[in-house]
Amino acid sequence: MIKQFVPSEACLKCQGCCRFKEADSVWSPCLLDEEVLGLIDKEGIPAASLSMNRKLQLIPSGEGDGFLCPFLSPQENKCRIYHLRPFECQLYPFLLSLRNKRVLLTVDLNCPYIKENINTPAFNEYIGYLTKYLNAPRQLCTLRDNPHILQAYEDVKDVVELGLGDDSK
């Protein structure tokens, strides 16, 4: 599990995460290969809940104004699989972006907590932790084995380049 930067109280108040404008949003979580098997085996989700590129298939919100993660309980604003949530969900509001063949750790500027805390010592300390975690050999191997989780996000701030382009394992 990745240590979280945003406190759960802030997340539960926000109602921004896990909600999407389009059914095929780039923001929809993409699962690592091992997560796909875990969710199918442990949670019994149907394989049809995932797209060919291992993204969660979003569901209509019921409000007519967008789409939801299939694991979001909108009434409680909580994840039904929080204990097994995908790597990308653990990482959020930080994201792995692919830009010009470079793998960047970026942060979503639409997160209210990030807006308030981006220039703080705690933010910088967390970036150090996350950079070290993501550049560890085990994580680099996982990322190399799952290139589909690298997306081209917009409205993000580049934080640091990761060592994924380095072929030493």
Q: Check whether residue 119 and residue 69 sit in a common domain.
A: no
- pLDDT, tens only, 58-104: 989 887 789 999 889 988 889 988 888 899 999 999 999 988 888 99
Residue 167 sits at the vertex; the CA angle it makes with 161 and 169, to the nearest 5 degrees, is 100
Looking at the predicted structure, is the pLDDT value of residue 48 above 70? Answer: no
Provide the total of helices (H) and of strands (E) in the chain, helices listed first: 6, 8
3-class SS at 97? Answer: strand
Give the torsion through C-alpha atoms of 152, 154, 159, 165, to 10 deg: 10
For residue 6, what pLDDT is reported? 94
Domain end point (choices 84, 109, 134): 84
Tokens of 62: 């019921």
Q: Please tell me whether residue 38 adopts helix, strand or coil conformation.
A: helix
Summarised one tens digit per residue, pLDDT across range 10-47 is 988 888 889 999 988 889 999 898 888 777 766 666 66
Q: Which domain holds residue 72?
A: 8-84
pLDDT for res 39: 75
